[in-house]
Amino acid sequence: MQAEMKSLEEKVAQIARMCQQLRGENIQLRQQLAAAQNQSKLLGDRIVGAQTRLEVLMEQIPESTE
């Protein structure tokens, strides 16, 4: 009975350590996700800006009359 209790105690402690580790990893992953989403938005904004500039330039190019 004593050995079973000790084994159970160790398993509970191991689970507690794993939960703590997973919480830390989860926080880190959430931060990475937020950074990636922010980067994605910035890149999307840059694409829209470039698209707008290209459209303006294309309107300035005279049409060819062949």
SS (H, E, C) the chain: CHHHHHHHHHHHHHHHHHHHHHHHHHHHHHHHHHHHHHHHHHHHHHHHHHHHHHHHHHHHCCCCCC
Whether 2 is in a domain gets the answer no
Whether 1 is in a domain gets the answer no
pLDDT at position 34, please?
Answer: 98
Whether 19 is in a domain gets the answer no
Whether 34 is in a domain gets the answer yes
Whether 46 is in a domain gets the answer yes
How many structural domains is the chain composed of? 1
Per the prediction, the chain carries an average pLDDT of 95
- Per residue of the chain (66 residues), give pLDDT as tens: 899 999 999 999 999 999 999 999 999 999 999 999 999 999 999 999 999 999 999 999 988 776
- Domain range holding 41? 28-54
The pTM of this model reads 0.69
Whether 14 is in a domain gets the answer no
Whether 23 is in a domain gets the answer no
